[in-house]
Each structure stands twice: as C-alpha cells, then as structure tokens.
Structure 1
Amino acid sequence: MKKSVYFRLQRWSAWSGFLVLISLMVAYGIGDLLSPMSPTMTANEVRDFLVEHQHGILLCASIAVLTVPFEYPYVVVTSMQMKRVEGGWGWLSMVQLTTGVVAPTGFFYPLAILAAAAYRAESHSPDVLSAMTDIFWLMYVGNACIFALQVWSIAFASYLDQRSKPVFPRWYAHLSMVLGVLFISGAFVFLTKTGPFAWNGILAQGIPALAYLVWKVATPLVLLKAIKGEEAELAEKDAVEAEPATA
C-alpha cells in the first residue's frame, strides 16, 4: 500500500469519530431521545410516548444502523496509533481495540429493542412496552461504563510514552483519566428510579453524556495530530535512508 493511501485511510478513520457523534446526536434528536424519559412514567404514559414518537424512533434506529459501523475505523486507528507507543500490538492497544469494538453495541442493541417496541406500539399492551422501554434505558445509560476502560487504556499509553515526541499529549492523558471516572456512575441506574443515579439523573446520564461529547471531540483532533506526526517521522526516516553512504 502506498504511504499516501495508508495515511489517508487513517485520517478518514479519525474523522469518522466526528461522523458518529454528529449522526447519533441528530438521530436521537429525531427520536426525541436526547432527554431521557422519566423512570417513574406509568405504562400508559410510556405507550403514549411510543405511539406519538413512533416514526421518529424508527428513523433514529435506521440512522444508527447506518452510522454505528463507522465507529470501527475510528477505534482501529486509535489502536494503530497506540501501537507506536508499545512498539507493536500490546496489552493497552488490544484493550482499547476490544472495548472499542464492544462499545458501539451499547448504542444500537438497546435502540433496536426500543424500535421493536415502537414498531407496533399501537398493538402491544402498555406493560410489555414499558418493560421494553426499561430495557432500552437501562442498557443505554448503564453501558456507559464500558467506555471507562477504553479511555483509561489510551491514558495509560500516553503516560507510558517515552518518545521525545509523544504520540498523544499529556493533557489528553489527564483528560481521559477524568472522563473515565465520569463514565462509571452510569452503572448505578439499575439500583434506583429517582435521584441523580436514575437513568435520567445528572450523575448517571447527564455528566456521562457530557463526558462522552468531550471525549468524542477531543480524540479525533488528537488522532489527526498523531497521524501527522507519524507521517513526518516516516518521511524523516526515508530521507535518512536515502542519503548516500559516506566513506
């Protein structure tokens, strides 16, 4: 593969992080899902919501199906840059890759369940629809903690980087450690229906959602700079190797 193609693919993969973020925000906005439903809604209220927003939820699911696959190039290029720190595939780059592969399912699989509820909302009993909606919100918000290990693996790689020109800046390592901590609170949505740890609470949903937004903006920018650095390193290496040997 030509080096120009190699680095073009990496850049496209980094930009796909922005694509996923923007597309999912638009999709969830269409489905009126950016602001979570209250866990205390009655079954009849849940059914009314699904009937009213049926088309928006189904369109949201369709957009997600088309968007989620673009998360994988973004995850792969992140691990490829981490390889530069470890000198090849290592523990940290593999942890980032495997958690990154699993993480997108936290978007689509719960949404597919909600879409199934909305698909025939006018025909199902309110209790069935309420249970399916509970599964969506519990999975969607609760799965946020998966991202903690992913961002921490990137942070540790940044801290361990002994290169004169680090792949990732130190500020990004600090940011990733903090964001990883903020993702953890989503795991407590299973324990309560009200308060800050409910699926619509500030600690379980609000702060992790903001943390994900910050991470999804910062990481592609850092990756693009890292890719540019790798390209410069290879160009410098090629120039040295091309110099005629001196006697």
Structure 2
Amino acid sequence: MTERGQTIMICWGLIFMYIYGFALWGLLGMMPPPPATLDANAVAAFYAEHGFKIRLGAVVTSWTSAFMVPFSVVVAIQLARLEKGVPIWSILQFAGGILMSIFLVLPPMFWGIAAFTTTRPPEVTALMHEIGMLTLVTTDQFFIFQMVAIAVISLTQKIDAHSPFPRWMGYFTIWAALMFEVGAIAFLPKSGPFSWNGIFVFWCPLIIFGTWVTVMSISMLLALRRQAAAR
C-alpha cells in the first residue's frame, strides 16, 4: 500500500472517530451516560424524551462507528515493515483492532433499538440500555491484543528513523492498555468511580482512548511523510 493510501485511511479513521464522539455526546446523550442506579421507568422516560435524537445518533454512528478498521490496517502495515519473517505481532494487532471495533459498533445500535419503540415495557428498554452501556465500557477483550503487539514492537525494534513507533510509544501504549482494563469492573458496582459513568471506567478510558488514537495517528502520518521522502 502506498504512503498516500495509508494517509487517506488514517485520516478516514480519525475523522470518523471524532464524529462518533460527537454523536455519543450530542445525539445519543451518553456522554456522560445516565447513572446505572436509574430504575426501569426512569430509563424508559429518558428514551421517550430523547427518542428522535438517539435514533439519529444511531444513524450517524452506523456510518462511523467502525473507525478502528482503517486505523488498524495501517498500524498492521507499519508494524509489518519492522518485523522479520512472519509478522505475527502485526497479525495479532490487526485481529485485536478489527474485533475490538465490534464493541464500538454495537452499543449505539442497542440504544437506537431501545429508542425505536417507546411503547414497550420499561424493563425491556432498560435491558437494551444496560446491554449497550456495558458493551461499551467493558470492551477489554480485544484491546489488549492490539496494544501488546504495538508495545512489543515499539520496545524491541532496532532504531528506525522512519518508524511511527518510537520507544516512548510503547510505554504510552502499555499505560493506556492498563487504564482500559479497568472497564470490566463496571459489572460490579452501580455507583461510584468504578460504575459505568464513573471516572475510572468511563471518563479516563474515553479520554485516554481518544488521545491514544490521535497521537498514534499523528505519529503514523509523520512517519509516512518521512517514508515517502526517502523513496
């Protein structure tokens, strides 16, 4: 793949990520999310009151929520150029990134379904809402494979002036991965810093994730410019 093609894919993923974030906040109303302590009637009332905006948010995120796919493709290509033989870390990163994107795609779909019919029993709407929230914040299953692969290459590669993965990127990625893993705790409490709207489960991972993808994208864009100039 050419440097131009990779640049387009990075920008594609980055723009879609910011649109997704806007929809999460401005349309879906999930930034911050409603507290997990709300009863079924309160949840149903939330969806009845904001139904159109939530359905519109589901439309927008249906177009943009798989933004990690082009991002992960370019990361895999850039990792592979640093590996010798079979690029196992590149393959692991690609698999983790692609599978993890599913957990960004599904939550807005669940919320859109919850808002689609407001006349159903409140308990059903509350169930769809809970599935969406917990799917989003407990997305730890596949992140780790993508990030470990990036960290390994960043920390073990020989010096390469054209690499987008300097050593500090490895440490940054390890720190981000550790922060993401806290999300699974959201299955336990319904209030406090470890609930699904708490600082350690929602806000820290959200901010760190957006920062990590942005920093990684900028690093790859700069590296692609150096690689193109070296041709």
C-alpha contact (below 8 Å) 1:155/1:172 kept by paired residues: yes
Tell me the number of residue pairs that the alignment of Structure 1 and Structure 2 aligns. 229
Task: Find the aligned partners of 1:124 and 1:118 in 2 and give their Cα distance.
Answer: 10
Asked if 1:179 is matched to 2:196, the reply is no
**What is the TM-score with the length of structure 2 in the denominator?**
0.93
User: Does 2:25 correspond to 1:51?
Assistant: no
Counterpart of 1:82 in structure 2 is 79
More helix by share: 1
Q: Report the equivalent of 1:212.
A: 209
2:130 counterpart letter in structure 1? D
Distance, in Å, in 2 between the alignment partners of 1:93 and 1:157 is 9
1:226 to 223, 226, 231: 223
The runs of at least 4 consecutive aligned structure 1 residues that moved more than 4 Å come to: none
What is the Cα deviation at residue 116 of structure 1?
0.8
**TM-score for both structures, normalised by structure 1:** 0.87
Q: Distance in 1 between matches of 2:15 and 2:85?
A: 28
Matched, 1:154 2:150: yes
2:100 maps to which residue?
103
Mapped to 2, the partners of 1:225 and 1:147 lie a distance apart of 24
Q: How much does 1:67 deviate?
A: 1.0
Asked if residue 24 in structure 1 is aligned to residue 24 in structure 2, the reply is no
User: Residue type matched to 1:212 in 2?
Assistant: F
Does the CA contact (< 8 Å) of 2:100 and 2:141 recur in 1? Answer: no
| C-alpha distance in 2 between matches for 1:70 and 1:143 | 15
**Aligned amino acid, residue 100 of structure 2:** A
CA RMSD of aligned residues (A): 1.6
- The one-letter amino acid of 2:75's match is T
C-alpha distance in 2 between matches for 1:181 and 1:93: 20
Retained in 2: the 8 A contact 1:72–1:100?
Answer: yes
Structure showing greater radius of gyration is 1
Unmatched runs of 5 consecutive residues or more in structure 2: none
Q: What 5-or-longer segments of structure 1 have no aligned partner?
A: 236-247
Give yes or no for contact 1:81–1:227 (8 Å, CA) kept in 2. Answer: no
Alpha-carbon distance between aligned partners in 1 of 2:102 and 2:73, rounded to the nearest angstrom: 16
Instruction: Tell me how far apart the structure 2 counterparts of residues 142 and 164 of structure 1 sit (CA, whole Å).
Output: 36
Aligned 8 A contact 1:110 1:135 in 2: yes
